Amino acid sequence: MFLVGGLLVAVGLALLVSGFASSSPDGLEKVAQDKGFLETARDHLLDDGPLAGYQVAGVDNQRLSTGISGLIGVLITFGLGMALFALVRGLRSRGDDSEPTRAP
């Protein structure tokens, strides 16, 4: 099943690979750093959330912490996405079971 396989890939990447990702600042942050406007950044409003910074509060091993946070994120995103798109499909006029119009 493609869906299951795809989800396993996403879960695998988030859980197992994310802990090994580069920790260098990303392009925008590096530009801000080099050019001197990084300090205009304010602290994130939700910086003390349990998953902030892709680290699970209470898990000390950093790679594991990142991996678990990624797993949680993938599952939440999948669930939210599915729910939203189910809602979106339900928005088509009730009782209209015809094929949707072709996308542009």
Note the residues at the interface with other proteins (CB under 8 A): 2-3, 6-7, 9-11, 13-14, 17-18, 21-28, 30-32, 34-37, 40-47, 49, 51-54, 66, 69-70, 72-82, 84-86, 88-89, 91-92, 99-103
Rounded to a whole number of angstroms, the minimum distance from the CB of residue 60 to other proteins is 18
Closest CA relative to residue 62, chosen from 14, 10, 18, 12: 18
Q: How far is the CB of 64 from other proteins (least distance, A)?
A: 14
Give 39's DSSP letter: G
Question: Rounded distance, CA 52 to CA 92, Å?
Answer: 37
